[in-house]
A and B are shown apart, each in its own frame.
Chain A
């Protein structure tokens, strides 16, 4: 975690080069490796775009654009939608200034002249929050991906089960309406044979032939059912 924190992209914006130099040296001493700076607040928007800082150290009193203007600009361009905390650097630590800065989107303050230990701790605290949030976001993405995969699998299972149910209904219908017909014929003929009731319409030979025909018909129907059952994977477990 600490090693990752030290790689964080930090952007310093201050029109006073002496301030930048103090902060940059401090950060280098503390092991931060990815520090950029600018003395011109008009460059901030472009740097946010290209450098993608994870934390912004922002002076308030600057020519061309004040720190407030910069925050306003970033907000209006939607650059503060992700979590990029802004640490405001100010010599003017009045209550009004602090309140306005907080309202405009600042996360914390550093009062000039800088207390080096305080600077290090405040930056570290904010970066920790950034990393925790980013991990949370990663985990949410992983979870969402898992949910999507699972949903997809469930949809597939559901479709297989629907097909199986349709086949089962089909088989049940065939069972009661189609299978029973040749069987009823066979049973009727067999009972006539048992009672030795022969007639003009139905001789013994005809009866035997009809039994064979009906048996073949039944065999055909049952083979059809088996084929359907296999085709819709009825014998397979769905999970």
Chain B
């Protein structure tokens, strides 16, 4: 399965690191790097298509539109594409985990930085949930 990977993080160094990892693992040759929820929402709207499967590597704490607000905005937008969301944060607190339970699009929580093994775990989890 091919994905369009969207890396959404306000930390530009993390964006580059994750981009290198995603490309290296062969998930997406040219992942989109977006610095907040607004940019991500615009990207999805622009590329919305029933053949699309977006994989969002989504940071929670960001200026302008944070991860939770983006999820809310996506839910309100009648998208045709398939969207899977991995929450990627520098620290996972209990409250965030509880909030994530209610989010249908979210399939897992992952800690920064995304190393090879974490990305592999992520893909395995996503594939197992797809079945």
**Within 8 Å of chain B (Cβ to Cβ): is A230?**
no
CB contact under 8 A between A201 and B91, given known A185-B11, A188-B14, A188-B113: no
CB contact under 8 A between A184 and B112, given known A176-B93, A177-B90: yes
- Among candidates B16, B23, B90, residue contacting A180 with C-beta atoms closer than 8 Å: B90
Q: Which of under 10, 10 to 19, 20 to 34, or 35 or more describes the interface residues of B?
A: 20 to 34
Measured between beta carbons, the chain A residues less than 8 angstroms from B17 are 185, 188-189, 192, 202
Kindly state the separation between the CA atoms of A35 and B18 in the bound complex, as whole angstroms: 101
Q: Which of A168-182 contact B (CB under 8 A)?
A: 176-177, 180-181
Residue in chain B with minimal CB distance to A178: B90
Q: Which of B78-131 contact A (CB under 8 A)?
A: 90-91, 93, 111-116
Give A76-98 as 1s and 0s: 1 = Cβ < 8 Å from B's Cβ atoms. Answer: 00000000000000000000000
A188 touches B91 (CB 8 A): no
Q: Which of B11-44 contact A (CB under 8 A)?
A: 11, 13-14, 16-21, 23-24
Measured between beta carbons, the chain B residues less than 8 angstroms from A191 are 113, 115
**Within 8 Å of chain B (Cβ to Cβ): is A65?**
no
B20 touches A199 (CB 8 A): yes
Interface residues of B (CB under 8 A from A): 11, 13-14, 16-21, 23-24, 61, 90-91, 93, 111-116
